[in-house]
């Protein structure tokens, strides 16, 4: 079942339960997924990752501005979106992927960072944050 269909079903359930906050968040997610389909994109996971990242960035900005209640709302929506994404890789799993990818692409120094990152990010397939991956690739390349 596509994520879009799952979100639609969850939205109906939230509406029946009268959970206004969840309904609002699910409507936003559904809207973004439908917009991506209209634009010809079928990568639902990319849409969800982008929306989760936006919520986390907004929460950070709200916290810096002293708006704790708004930050908590954004983080709540980010958690909701995260529930539709595949599970994150553990540090051990990610380290194994990084080491294998660095060997396969022949990266030897920090000059090869771009090539190594491309190989690792393709293998990770969105199951780890780019910043986390970058840090491990730098360590693997001795940077």
Q: The domain that contains 37 carries what CATH number? A: 1.10.1510.10
pLDDT tens digits, 80-108: 998 998 888 888 999 999 999 888 888 88
pLDDT confidence bin for 12, thresholds 50/70/90: very high
The span from the CA of 4 to the CA of 8, in Å, is: 6
Domain holding 54, by residue range, is 3-82
What is the band of 43 on the pLDDT scale with cuts at 50, 70, 90? confident
CB 59 within 8 A of CB 75: yes
- Residue where one domain finishes, among candidates 51, 82, 113: 82
29 and 77 fall within a common domain: yes
Instruction: Write down the pTM of the prediction.
Output: 0.74
Domain boundary, last residue among 82, 117, 132: 82
Domain identity same for 66 and 129: no
> Do 107 and 75 belong together in one domain?
no
Residues 61 and 125 in one domain: no
How many independent structural domains does the chain possess? 2
Last residue of a domain, one of 82, 110, 125: 82
pLDDT in tens, 55-78: 999 999 999 999 999 999 999 999
């Amino acid at each position: 079942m596509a994520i879009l269909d799952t979100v639609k079903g969850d939205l109906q359930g939230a509406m029946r339960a009268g959970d206004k906050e969840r309904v609002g968040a699910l409507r936003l997610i559904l809207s973004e997924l439908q917009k991506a389909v209209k634009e010809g994109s079928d990568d639902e996971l990319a849409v969800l990752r982008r929306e989760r990242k936006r919520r986390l960035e907004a929460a950070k900005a709200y916290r810096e501005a002293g708006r704790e209640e708004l930050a908590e709302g954004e983080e709540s929506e980010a958690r909701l979106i995260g529930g539709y994404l595949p599970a994150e890789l553990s540090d051990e799993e990610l380290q194994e992927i990084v080491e294998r990818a660095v060997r396969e692409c022949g990266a030897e120094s920090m000059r090869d960072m771009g090539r190594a990152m491309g190989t690792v990010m393709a293998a990770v397939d969105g199951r780890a944050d780019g910043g986390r991956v970058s840090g491990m690739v730098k360590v693997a390349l001795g940077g």
